[in-house]
A and B are shown apart, each in its own frame.
Chain A
Amino acid sequence: MKVLDLIVKESCAVSATSVRMVLTAHDTLPDMQPGQFVELRIDDTPGVLLRRPISIHDYDKESNTLALLVQRVGKGTAWLCSRQAGDVVNAVLPLGNGFTLPSEGAPCSPLLIGGGVGVAPLLFLGRELCRRGIVPTFLLGARTSKELLCKDLFESVGTVYVTTEVGDEGVKGFVTHHPVLSEGDFNAVYVCGPKPMMQAVVTMARAGEVWCEVSLENRMACGIGACLCCVEDTLSGNVCVCKEGPVFNIDRLKWT
């Protein structure tokens, strides 16, 4: 883990409330795994004290850059979304444990399900899977087509299916309504998104006895396992999402 000043290389709106940023640093960025996150310091915002956890959306060792996908929901994310090229954002990174990747050559047919801004870590995960010769299938959910984030980027990495709640793109409804869930023959499911969505997917994965990992978004203070604020009540008791997660195999969760 490192504390680094990241420099914004580019920042562009990808929906009315979301921004995709590419950042670099003077130093070499530490190696990162899909599913890990960063904690960003929020400057110039009166009253805001704590860092904000944001998933690593993409990482490219060669160009020493990482990308973040941020949705504006409050003061902290508003400050992040208003960063322009050349601005500095202080980060602690990389944090937590990422998704479990299949070992090289192992047969794997993964489905990556994301809802809302929860699609963020799945791009980096999809890229890592590709690097291992596995073509990922994405199932992306949003309220409307306008809120569907970075579809073209996902299409450059794998096959993309879409659901929208209002039905203006893809299948109408929630991700759990998409036929690809029952038609595709997936042996691994990775999920990130709003909790009700993840819970619905977990119920299906359990019923179908499919291996499944979810990425949780509990409220955090330290992000490094020191304060015990971010715990999830698991089958092995309260564990820190920031340190033991944010990715958990569903076998560890009490979710029903």
Chain B
Amino acid sequence: MDLSVKIGTLQLRNPVLTASGTFGYGTEYADFVDFSRLGGIVVKGTTLHPREGNPYPRMAETPSGMLNAVGLQNKGARYFIDHIYPAICHLPTKIIVNVSGSSIDDYVAVARMLDELEHIPAIELNISCPNVKQGGMAFGVTPYGASSVVRAVRNAYSKTLIVKLSPNVTDIVSIARAVEEEGADGVSLINTLLGMAIDAERRRPILSTVTGGLSGPAVKPVALRMVWQVAQAVSIPVIGMGGICSATDAVEFLLAGATAVEIGTANFVDPSVSEKVADGIADYMARHNMEHVSDITML
């Protein structure tokens, strides 16, 4: 049985990755996950300069989901390269860095720095984070904005370039087509859906930023629909995510046309879920007499 998949030149042993911002730098989960059983780890969003993120409270649980407004807290690309990369570059799985920025120049600068790192075979460009007041959102919500940043990064980055799409748009297909046109090797979706929670007794919003990003099982049907639409419209691989908690959930995304999946919020509920999903996909293939994981896709 062959579970390996390819995105650009990135070769994954199986289609299961962990989603950015939900799995730290991997090491936080060392007690729970055998990394050699994962396709890869997408590490926390990294920006050119350090960011303190948004004030507390940054999290609100909502029915079957959660809102977050972390705001891309990270120590910056230089710190990542000098202090974090050495500690994770030899983990027995593929390490992908999620890149964020508030200007095209910032994205390009980080992409250039990461291009030099031998053990980072791919980046995931976050053009969709809804938490950041400038940047983030602005690029991902129009085909023009998405094209401009992807074009610039494509020129600066030689390895596999995955572009992570925002679901907070009217027509996600047009954005996916635009980034394919500019040379993206794959697209991943969905990032969090913009939402809000209010504390009725205290009569105020729960999050310090008022609005935040919704994730978890609550978003799965929306995510599946978007993955299905995008997979039909582009010929580059699609990485699906949004509410995946089990192998069955993951298989549904593969059926909708995804080449691989990422697991986010579910890691908080069951810290070893990613490994279980990878095993469960293999069981599914065995039950359905499938040779290769791409046989699952129904499109």
Contacts and interface: CB of A to CB of B under 8 A. Distances in A.
A51 B53 CA distance: 24
Given A49-B217, A227-B70, A238 B52 contact: yes
Contact of A222 (B53, B63, B73, B268): B268
A46 B62 CA distance: 11
Given A47-B64, A49-B66, A50-B268, A219 B57 contact: yes
A227 B61 contact: no
Contacts of A231: 53, 56, 58, 73
What range describes how many residues of B lie at the interface? 20 to 34
A221 B270 CA distance: 11
Interface in A167-186: none
Interface in B172-186: none
Nearest to B25: A226
A220 to B, nearest CB: 8
A226 B23 contact: yes
Given A49-B269, A238-B73, A224 B29 contact: yes
Nearest to A2: B31
Nearest to A51: B269
Contact of A92 (B21, B44, B271): B271
A49 B265 contact: yes
A56 B55 CA distance: 28
B216 interface: yes
A41 B269 contact: yes
A33 B267 CA distance: 25
Interface in B40-64: 44, 52-53, 55-61, 63-64
Contacts of B21: 227-228
Interface in A31-62: 41, 46-51
B68 interface: yes
Contacts of A232: 56
Interface in B259-280: 265, 267-272
Contacts of B63: 46-47
A226 B26 CA distance: 8
The CB with the most chain A CB atoms within 10 A, among B22, B58, B64, B68, is that of: B58
B58 A228 contact: yes
Nearest to A238: B52
B134 to A, nearest CB: 20
Closest 9 A-B residue pairs measured CB to CB?
A226-B24, A229-B59, A47-B63, A226-B28, A222-B268, A1-B31, A221-B268, A228-B70, A228-B73
